[in-house]
Structure 1
Amino acid sequence: MQDIIGSFRPGLFAGKAILVTGGSSGIGLAIAQGFARLGGSVIALGSSEQKLSAERARAENKGIRFERVDVRDPAAIKRFVAGLDKLDVLVNGAGIARPEAEFEDDTYIEVIDVNLNSQMRFAMAALPLLKASRGSIINIASMLSYVSDPLVPAYGASKTGVLGLTRHLAHAFGPDGIRVNAISPGYHKTDMTKGLWTDPVPAEKIAARSALKRWGTVDDLVGTALFLSSPAAAFITGTDLPVDGGFVVGGF
């Protein structure tokens, strides 16, 4: 990650407050680390106290405060955000996938609730603070906002919805100086995709479709989040930046 961090001015986010949901592992954790290394005061939220405790103990997470908040609980979200003094950047990174089980009604609703509804909940709860700072929201979408996977209908629907939510909130919040953008990761090596990147057959097939002929890492998403939250992106809102190595526009 050091090469990525070195691309930005040291202390770029000094004095800035950043909140990252889904911040105890994978993509969310990497983004939280990126902000912290550029001086940001970062709070990373997660659902597993075991994961949060493990991350609190890691030296590379210096400057990150880890807290447990259930993103399915509107009241808990409101209480937590109400306790913040300020907020400059909200990264909505909480997400789950339940392959095959998403055809069941309860599981379908749970995935939609975590992946899509929580982003709206946090955006609305954070609105007064973001108005005060003229801040920024980054919603994590997915390449499955654009292409299909027959095993995860709820995940695909939720991530497609994230793009619509991003566009609408960009116009709803824009008059207050708040920018709202999305990032669509492709195939990155995370716990969620471990079953694919540890199996040579799908791993090689996925890498072959990528224009760069490799899987992404979580670090590949950090620079995009930092850029979208920086003054360099001051006139960028309502857009989505795919970070997929060219996967979606490729072909087998």
Structure 2
Amino acid sequence: MTGILDSFRLDGRVALVTGSSRGLGKAAAIALAEAGADIALLDRGEPAETIAQIEARGRRAHSIRRDLIGASAEDLASVIDEVVVEYGHLDILVNNAGTIRRAPAAEYAVENWRDVLSINLDAVFHLSQAAGGHMLAQGRGRIINVASMLSFQGGILVPAYTASKHAVAGLTKALANEWASSGVTVNAIAPGYMATDNTAAIRADAVREASIVARIPMGRWGDAADLQGAFVFLASDAAAYVTGAIVPVDGGWLVR
């Protein structure tokens, strides 16, 4: 008899994780591997430490190097094809890669707008579209996008990031509506304030950092490990009836 804990296992599954060399992507890749999946890693460089952690858990790791800024739909479709050739199938896509550029909206450089939207939104759609084609054909699949607290709020000095993360939430819902009946679920995780490279500037501002912690009911910044359970859940059969959800993992930030 199969128990509830077995439904969280990912044995025999293949996952592609973008932005996997550090932070949230690295944590997601390691968690999925620990649950039993083989992992493909899409990054600008070689995510050597992530590969080592995956292989230490007895799973396979395959690295694909691409710069997502300006990547074409055809180039990103070739990434999905490479994963399928390497492993035979693709079951899970984690669209984690993202960037942020801070400046007042009235002075925001057009190249910053383009770069942020290219990575945070365009690549998410093109990878989801290509992966979705394979998943729809096999009758199953899990796509997990990384949204943000700024999928719900406006933020300060981050117009492109905010626009992109609102769009990721909307795209998650749109794809979920179209693909649910074919066995493909599309969900997003919305991390709260996490201690990552993207938030280094905020954490270095003593006044801003203190105001943020004061609003978080748990009283601390999140860590990448705090997201691992959510990634495994949404990738697993335990979440078979969950789609179109934007799941906050925020220490209570949104309910304050």
**One fold, TM greater than 0.5?**
yes
In structure 1, which of residues 65, 70, 88 is the aligned counterpart of residue 67 of structure 2? 70
Residue of structure 2 in register with 1:16 after alignment:
13
- Please tell me whether the aligned partners of residues 45 and 69 of structure 1 are also in contact (alpha carbons under 8 angstroms): yes
Q: Would you say 1:210 and 2:216 are equivalent positions?
A: yes
Residue of structure 1 in register with 2:129 after alignment:
124
- Please tell me whether the aligned partners of residues 18 and 41 of structure 1 are also in contact (alpha carbons under 8 angstroms): yes
SS at match of 1:187: coil
For residues 8 and 228 of structure 2, the distance between their equivalents in structure 1, rounded to whole angstroms, comes to 16
- CA offsets per residue over residues 87-136 of structure 1, 9 Å max, x none? 11111111000111771112102111110111110011112321215011
Q: Would you say 1:89 and 2:58 are equivalent positions?
A: no
Residue of structure 1 in register with 2:33 after alignment:
36
- What is the number of equivalent residue pairs in this alignment? 240
Which letter maps to 1:140? V
- Please tell me whether the aligned partners of residues 17 and 95 of structure 2 are also in contact (alpha carbons under 8 angstroms): yes
For residues 7 and 175 of structure 2, the distance between their equivalents in structure 1, rounded to whole angstroms, comes to 31
- CA offsets per residue over residues 163-190 of structure 1, 9 Å max, x none? 1100100011122110000111111111
How far does residue 201 in structure 1 lie from its aligned partner after superposition?
3.1
Q: Would you say 1:79 and 2:78 are equivalent positions?
A: yes
Deviates more, 1:114-123 or 1:58-67: 58-67
Which letter maps to 1:98? R
After superposition, the Cα gap between the structure-2 partners of 1:205 and 1:9, relative to the gap in structure 1 and judged at 3 Å, is farther
In structure 1, which of residues 114, 118, 121 is the aligned counterpart of residue 119 of structure 2? 114
Q: TM-score, normalised by structure 1?
A: 0.88
After superposition, the Cα gap between the structure-2 partners of 1:8 and 1:28, relative to the gap in structure 1 and judged at 3 Å, is farther
How far does residue 21 in structure 1 lie from its aligned partner after superposition?
1.0
How far does residue 150 in structure 1 lie from its aligned partner after superposition?
2.4
How far does residue 246 in structure 1 lie from its aligned partner after superposition?
1.2
Q: Would you say 1:60 and 2:59 are equivalent positions?
A: no
For residues 13 and 158 of structure 1, the distance between their equivalents in structure 2, rounded to whole angstroms, comes to 30
For residues 215 and 29 of structure 1, the distance between their equivalents in structure 2, rounded to whole angstroms, comes to 18
SS at match of 1:137: strand
Runs of 4+ in 1 over 6 A off after TM superposition: none
In structure 1, which of residues 231, 240, 246 is the aligned counterpart of residue 237 of structure 2? 231
Higher relative contact order (CA 8 A, sep 6+): 2
Q: Which has the higher helix share?
A: 2
- CA offsets per residue over residues 185-233 of structure 1, 9 Å max, x none? 1111111112233444333221110011111000111101111111111
For residues 48 and 237 of structure 2, the distance between their equivalents in structure 1, rounded to whole angstroms, comes to 33
What runs of 5+ residues in structure 2 fail to find an aligned partner? none
For residues 252 and 155 of structure 2, the distance between their equivalents in structure 1, rounded to whole angstroms, comes to 17
- Please tell me whether the aligned partners of residues 29 and 44 of structure 1 are also in contact (alpha carbons under 8 angstroms): no
For residues 176 and 121 of structure 1, the distance between their equivalents in structure 2, rounded to whole angstroms, comes to 19
Residue of structure 2 in register with 1:98 after alignment:
101
For residues 249 and 146 of structure 1, the distance between their equivalents in structure 2, rounded to whole angstroms, comes to 12
Deviates more, 1:103-112 or 1:60-69: 60-69
- CA offsets per residue over residues 15-54 of structure 1, 9 Å max, x none? 100001111211011000001111110112111x2xx254
For residues 180 and 81 of structure 1, the distance between their equivalents in structure 2, rounded to whole angstroms, comes to 17
SS at match of 2:198: coil
Residue of structure 2 in register with 1:3 after alignment:
none
Identical aligned residues as a percent = 38
Which letter maps to 2:90? L
For residues 235 and 8 of structure 2, the distance between their equivalents in structure 1, rounded to whole angstroms, comes to 14
